[in-house]
Amino acid sequence: MTVDPQVSHFFLYQGASILTPNHHEAGRAIGRKLENDSEILKAAVEISERLSCLSLMITRGEKGMSLYLSSQKKIYHIPTVAREVFDVTGAGDTVISVYTAYHAAGLSELDASVVSNAAAGVVVAKLGAETVTPEELDFSLQSMGSFQE
């Protein structure tokens, strides 16, 4: 089960495969601001332990996203590809839908996260709630080069 939780019922998703809050939502859920990588890691551990979830992906705007894998007790910070941001409408929906599709198709959690990050980068460069085409996603992934853990 993949979940993009709302703050008001953030902790109702026990045992979810992955939750994908943004850093503001994750911070509000645990009652503190998340301003750096260390705070993101602490929040990810706390949230994943409270929910017994397998993974937690915290989206971080221009800083990309951070994927915490409970089984490895490890966090991966995935940078965004530099581009002009016009509208963040639909970015979170893009992240969870692309992640879910690619992970269900067999990509690892980390690889599916990299793809979803690239897809979100495309949609925020458009005005309004927009989609990403396969061609745009392919171009974005090629522009990123290889992801270094």
**One-letter amino acid of 149:** E
- pTM of the predicted protein model: 0.90
User: Mapped to the 3 state alphabet, what secondary structure does 26-59 carry?
Assistant: HHHHHCCCCCCHHHHHHHHHHHHHHHCCCEEEEE
Q: Which residues contact 53 (CB under 8 A, 6 or more apart)?
A: 13, 14, 15, 16, 17, 18, 19, 47, 70
Q: What is the pLDDT of residue 85?
A: 75
Mean of pLDDT over the chain:
91
Residue 99 lies in a domain: yes
Query: Residue 40: which domain range?
Result: 2-144
Residue 119 lies in a domain: yes
Residue 136 lies in a domain: yes
Q: What is the pLDDT of residue 82?
A: 60
Could you read off the pLDDT of 109-147 as tens digits, one per residue?
A: 999 999 999 999 999 888 888 889 999 999 989 887 766
Could you read off the pLDDT of 96-116 as tens digits, one per residue?
A: 999 999 999 999 999 999 999
Give residue 6's pLDDT band: very low, low, confident or very high (50, 70, 90): confident
Half-sphere exposure of 21 (CA within 13 A, CB side): 24
111 is catalytic: no
Q: What is the pLDDT of residue 86?
A: 77
Residue 149 lies in a domain: no
Q: Which of 136, 64, 59, 126 is nearest to 89 (CA)?
A: 126
pLDDT of 89 over the 90 cut: no
CB distance 137 to 97 below 8 Å: no
pLDDT of 48 over the 80 cut: yes
Could you read off the pLDDT of 67-81 as tens digits, one per residue?
A: 999 999 999 999 987
Q: Which residues contact 132 (CB under 8 A, 6 or more apart)?
A: 94, 98, 119, 122, 123, 140
CATH code of 33's domain: 3.40.1190.20
Counting the structural domains of the chain, the total is 1
Residue 72 lies in a domain: yes
Half-sphere exposure of 45 (CA within 13 A, CB side): 9
Which among 4, 37, 93, 138 is annotated as catalytic?
A: 93
CB distance 147 to 78 below 8 Å: yes
